[in-house]
Structure 1
Amino acid sequence: MAIASESLSPSTLKNRRHELLQQRRWQAFQRLWRFFFISGLAGSLCWLMATPSWEITAPEQVEIEGNQLMSKEKIRSLLSISYPQSLWQLKTHSLKAKLEKLPPVGDLSITRQIFPPLLTVQIKERRPVAIASSSQGMGFVDPEGIFIPKSFYSQQSLALKQLRLKITGFESQYQFDWKELYPLIESSAIKIFEVDWRNPSNIVLKSELGIVYCGPYTPQFSEKLKVLAKMRKLSSRVPVNRIVYIDLTNPQAPSVKLKPQPVEASKPSEATND
């Protein structure tokens, strides 16, 4: 079977070469135009970011949202931002990581705003539930056992002034025990006012029934509080001021140490006449 072939004329070949050359020139022009456009756009953005209109120049341009216990001024000081500062050069991830390491901070986010230039810090604080003393000084403890030094808070905070539970001798190694102990104290039928942890081999509670010796913290601590709840009517049989302490170190055999019964003064004998 024969295959027919058609030869192109010189003029046709010349026209095709001209068309290909035109296409290459146009493509080269497009690439050059695209390069200058992108370079100009990048340069403009760099120039805009370097202008003062994209800077935060005062602490008031750092908006604080969600804070309830820490003051806005305190949070701004913890950020340690030097002013003026380019909004785009601020390392928000580093600032976020820095604040999240602080004891009173539970969670937060940091966002930039362009018009007007602002930095917004949305914060979720930890909730203190007890006033605490430790080797670190005075402070507060949250339900998770995080110790928060009092220096983070304003002395005018009403929420902190209303705390009634106290812990004496709290240390970081008690954190996981406290996470279990706190819900037990909160749900206790007998009001607990203070936890004395200075001697971990004998945790002492101050309750509405008086001093309670509990021994070391163990998973059976809840049983001791149940026994304490059964002693609710103790004050109706024995005056609270006579109770030296309640011993629950062995919840199977609780005991009560009492002050001696005061001896009533004898009445003077009546004089007799002979």
Structure 2
Amino acid sequence: MRSWLSLPYPNSEDDFVARRKQIRQKRRLKFFQHMWQIVFISSATTGLVWLASLPDLKLDNSSQIDIEGNKLLTRETLQDMVPVSYPQHIFWVKPHEIAEQLEKTAPVKSVEVQRTLFPSKLTVIVEEREPVARALQFNEEGLLDENGAWMPLHSYPSSIDQPQLTILGFDQQVAEVWAEAYDHISNSPVKITQVDWRDKSNLILITELGTVHCGIYKPNKLARQLKTLDRLRKLDRVLDPESFLYLDLSDPNSPVLEMLDSAKVDLSAIEL
């Protein structure tokens, strides 16, 4: 058996020196890393402050806002609606928040805002809502798009060509069904100039043939009513607007004329 006395005796002094050297190297490395972080952060902060102080990196007025995609709304109208306080450093402008705010306040479907540093400007790209009808809401004049979104009339320039179609009785209930109803109305062969929804139990249309009572609105029912109305267009003699009060299409299979003398004329038996 080999005696433990024959094993090499460790040099404890050399190990201690090596460990001290290693510890100093680690401390020196940490020191330089820390100093580099301080220098980097200080330089970056100084650089940002310097850039932000440059006059060319400010929005001084609305002329530095470019508008794209507008057809109905004027450039100046949309520029004035952009929620930016002047002067404003371009770095502090938040394009996403501006887009969200404009979608809430402007008559547009969607907004994209792009920021440019040199030269400092904002580019606002909009998709407008095209008005298809006029409607009152809370006693204020406004315009409707095809999806039932109501927009105050003052949002548009006074020179805009307003739609010929008028909606009476517009409210949230009507807004929810307007998209489908407008699809039928806009494709009707018989011109419709007014839709009266004030009585929810009786939808009334003002058409080129006269006043039409439709009863309770139902999408599929309205489609059939408009087809019947188109067929009745051939009866010019019967459908003289001066000879009757209204055409009752509450049952599209049994159209009835309400005459001026309170008489009723059943048109279902007439060959169309």
TM-score (norm 1): 0.81
Report 1:6-155 matches (<5 A): 7-8=10-11, 10=13, 14=17, 17-18=20-21, 20-102=23-105, 104-155=107-158
Listed as ranges, the gaps of 5+ residues in structure 2 are 262-272
**Counterpart position of 1:208:** 208
Question: CA contact under 8 A between 1:92 and 1:110: conserved in structure 2?
Answer: yes
Letter in 2 for 1:50: S
Q: Deviations over 1:48-82 (max 9, x none)?
A: 22332221101101111112212222122222422
CA distance in 2, matches of 1:102, 1:23: 60
**Counterpart position of 2:252:** 251
User: Shift of residue 27 of structure 1?
Assistant: 3.7
Q: Deviations over 1:136-180 (max 9, x none)?
A: 3222111111111110001223xx34x332223323331112122
Question: CA contact under 8 A between 1:108 and 1:124: conserved in structure 2?
Answer: yes
The number of residues matched between the two structures is 257
Query: Structure 1 stretch 177-186 or stretch 164-173: which is displaced more?
Result: 164-173
**Counterpart position of 2:266:** none
**Counterpart position of 1:232:** 233
CA distance in 2, matches of 1:126, 1:141: 9
User: Shift of residue 253 of structure 1?
Assistant: 2.2
Query: Against the structure 1 CA distance between its residues 5 and 164, is the aligned structure 2 distance closer, same or farther, given a 3 Å change threshold?
Result: farther
**Counterpart position of 1:166:** 166
Question: CA contact under 8 A between 2:209 and 2:240: conserved in structure 1?
Answer: no
Q: Percent identity?
A: 35
Q: Deviations over 1:16-38 (max 9, x none)?
A: 64455245324422321232222
**Counterpart position of 2:264:** none
Give the 3-state SS of the residue equivalent to 2:105 in structure 1.
Answer: coil
Question: CA contact under 8 A between 2:209 and 2:239: conserved in structure 1?
Answer: no
Query: Structure 1 stretch 32-41 or stretch 105-114: which is displaced more?
Result: 32-41
CA distance in 1, matches of 2:250, 2:15: 109
**Counterpart position of 1:156:** 159
CA distance in 2, matches of 1:9, 1:201: 103
TM-score (norm 2): 0.81
Question: CA contact under 8 A between 1:110 and 1:120: conserved in structure 2?
Answer: yes
CA distance in 1, matches of 2:102, 2:173: 23
Matched, 1:222 2:223: yes
Q: Deviations over 1:81-139 (max 9, x none)?
A: 22111112224343223222126121112221101011221111112111223443222
Query: Against the structure 1 CA distance between its residues 103 and 114, is the aligned structure 2 distance closer, same or farther, given a 3 Å change threshold?
Result: closer
Listed as ranges, the gaps of 5+ residues in structure 1 are 261-274
CA distance in 2, matches of 1:49, 1:232: 70
Letter in 2 for 1:214: C
Query: Against the structure 1 CA distance between its residues 194 and 38, is the aligned structure 2 distance closer, same or farther, given a 3 Å change threshold?
Result: same
Letter in 2 for 1:211: T
